[in-house]
Every structure is written in structure tokens, then in C-alpha cells.
């Protein structure tokens, strides 16, 4: 088993639960069953397509040559959506974004690393790509995620006024195939300070349980209510 950690701010929000023991269980599962490939590769492909520096056919050819079947399958499913996104953005200027930390709790920080931002007609846009096959965001998790992103980016005057949106590449529950959904976060209300503090406190408690359970070589204790996983909590995020 790998070391218990929070892979990203997106994962922190996506696995949040009112029961900290369930958060601990999910973190332990992620430590034990991380995907055999990196999201970073997909972010780079998205950036390449936005910059128009690499022909789409060349990107597809490279993805087709990936040796891991699961990685190859998902890359080839996602690439057409990234192409559609790049086409819809139009003629843009792409800039890199400096990663910055977000404090979840005591001694618990997550690196927030957007793939890029772009400018169109002098307006700044900050996309965040969600590559999960199953979208784990319910209303409370989505509000937590958007609230955390807003708090990170408001610290930087260069991107504080950027339009933040989610480019969701998850599968449609009815059709079973991935579709591109652009979600404008301006329509999502931020959490109040007490709401945010409570949710982050619960997450920090779950993280502490997971770390302690790993040290002791056991599974976190769960009550009967917390032991029933939601159908939408799919750990194999590329399956």
C-alpha cells in the first residue's frame, strides 16, 4: 500500500462525506489502488491542443501507442472531448498557472495546480478538467470544491477575476459514454465560513483516521450507517 495522501483538491472534495470514517476508508483505498497512469499527461494534452502546437492526429497516434490498456482506452475516450473543448474556446492565448497550496487542516495542505488559463477577447478563463469516469460531485461536494478553488485564486490578482468553469468529461448516467459538460461555477454559491470550516474539519478528521489506521495496519472503524457506500462513490475513477 502506498502512503496515505490527498491526491488533489478535486479528490478532497469528491470523496468528502459527513462521516469521517468513510473518508478514511476512501483515502486508504486510493493509497492502495491508485491509477497506473497520471492525470498530468491528460492536462498536458489539453494544454497542447489549446495552444494549437500539436496536430490532433499526432496526439491520437501517441495515445494509441500507450501500452497500458486501461490508460489507452480512457485517453482515447477523453481526447475527442478535449478537442471539442479546444475548438469551442476558439483563438486564445494560453498561459501557465503557478501551483499554490490550500490548507485543509493542521499539517494538511494540498497543492492546487490548474493546467493553464487562457485569454479570449481580453477576458481571462480558468478551466478545471474533471476526468473521472463517474462524476463524484453531489451538491455539497461541488460547493466545497468551488469554494476552495475560489479561496485559492482570490489570493492572486492576476487570476482573481478569471472566469472559473469545470470541463467535466464524465460518463452520462443514461448513455454510459463520456460527454463534455461545461459547468459555469458563477451559478454555484460558495459555502459560508462556518459551513466550510465544518466540512474541512470532518475531512481532516477522516485523514487523521486513515493515517493512524495505516500505521496500525488496520481498517478504520465504521458504524452501521457509515459502512454503506453510496453507489456514486466509485473508487476506480477511470474504470
- CB-neighbour burial class of residue 176 (10 A; exposed 0-12, middle 13-18, buried 19+): exposed
Per residue in 86-131, pLDDT tens?
A: 999 988 999 998 888 999 988 899 989 888 999 998 899 999 999 9
Q: What is the CA radius of gyration of the chain?
A: 18
Cα 26-27-29 angle, rounded to 5 deg: 65
Alpha carbons 145 and 164: distance in angstroms, whole number:
12
| Local confidence band at 228 (pLDDT 50, 70, 90 cut-offs) | very low
Per residue in 58-82, pLDDT tens?
A: 889 988 888 888 888 989 999 999 9
Per residue in 165-215, pLDDT tens?
A: 999 999 988 888 999 999 999 989 999 999 999 999 999 999 999 999 998
Strands (E) located in 113-162: 117-120, 123-130
| Neighbouring C-beta atoms of residue 95, cutoff 10 Å | 12
| Local confidence band at 225 (pLDDT 50, 70, 90 cut-offs) | very low
The pairing of beta strand 163-168 with beta strand 93-95: unpaired
Mean pLDDT across the chain: 86
pLDDT at residue 235 is higher than 70: no
Residue 2: predicted pLDDT: 74
Residue 202: predicted pLDDT: 97
Strands (E) located in the chain: 93-95, 100-105, 108-112, 117-120, 123-130, 163-168, 181-184
> Dihedral through CA 121, CA 39, CA 114, CA 207, nearest 10?
150
The model carries a pTM of 0.87
The pairing of beta strand 108-112 with beta strand 93-95: unpaired
Per-domain boundaries in the chain: 9-33+99-216
* Contact by Cβ (8 Å): 153, 126: yes
pLDDT at residue 33 is higher than 80: no
Residue of 220 and 143 predicted with greater confidence: 143
Tell me the C-alpha to C-alpha distance, in Å, between residue 76 and each of 80, 112, 115, 121, 157: 7, 26, 19, 31, 37
Residue 66: predicted pLDDT: 84
pLDDT at residue 3 is higher than 90: no
Q: Which of 108, 103, 101 is nearest to 211 (CA)?
A: 108
| Local confidence band at 52 (pLDDT 50, 70, 90 cut-offs) | confident
Q: Which of 136, 132, 130 is nearest to 115 (CA)?
A: 130
| Local confidence band at 35 (pLDDT 50, 70, 90 cut-offs) | low
In sequence order, what are the residues at sequence separation of 6 or more whose Cβ sits closer than 8 angstroms to the Cβ of residue 166?
127, 128, 129, 130, 181, 182, 183, 185
Amino acid at each position: 500500500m502506498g502512503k496515505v495522501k490527498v491526491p488533489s483538491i478535486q479528490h478532497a472534495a469528491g470523496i468528502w462525506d459527513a462521516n469521517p470514517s468513510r473518508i478514511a476508508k476512501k483515502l486508504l483505498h486510493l493509497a492502495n489502488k491508485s491509477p497506473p497512469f497520471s492525470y498530468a499527461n491528460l492536462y498536458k494534452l489539453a494544454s497542447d491542443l489549446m495552444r494549437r502546437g500539436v496536430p490532433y492526429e499526432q496526439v491520437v497516434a501517441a495515445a494509441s501507442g500507450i501500452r497500458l490498456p486501461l490508460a489507452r482506452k480512457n485517453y482515447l475516450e477523453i481526447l475527442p472531448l478535449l478537442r471539442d473543448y479546444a475548438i469551442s474556446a476558439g483563438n486564445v492565448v494560453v498561459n501557465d498557472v503557478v501551483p499554490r497550496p490550500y490548507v485543509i487542516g493542521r499539517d494538511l495542505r494540498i497543492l492546487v495546480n490548474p493546467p493553464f488559463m487562457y485569454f479570449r477577447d481580453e477576458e481571462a478563463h480558468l478551466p478545471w478538467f474533471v476526468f473521472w469516469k463517474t462524476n463524484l460531485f453531489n451538491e455539497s461536494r461541488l460547493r466545497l470544491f468551488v469554494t476552495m478553488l475560489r479561496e485559492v485564486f482570490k489570493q492572486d490578482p492576476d487570476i482573481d477575476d478569471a472566469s472559473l468553469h469545470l470541463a467535466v468529461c464524465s460518463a452520462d448516467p443514461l448513455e454510459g459514454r463520456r460527454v463534455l459538460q461545461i459547468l459555469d461555477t458563477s451559478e454555484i454559491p460558495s459555502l459560508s465560513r462556518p459551513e466550510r470550516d465544518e466540512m474541512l474539519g470532518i475531512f481532516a478528521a477522516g485523514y487523521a483516521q486513515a493515517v493512524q489506521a495505516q500505521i496500525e495496519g488496520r481498517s478504520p472503524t465504521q458504524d452501521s450507517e457509515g459502512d454503506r457506500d453510496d453507489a456514486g462513490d466509485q473508487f476506480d475513477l477511470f474504470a
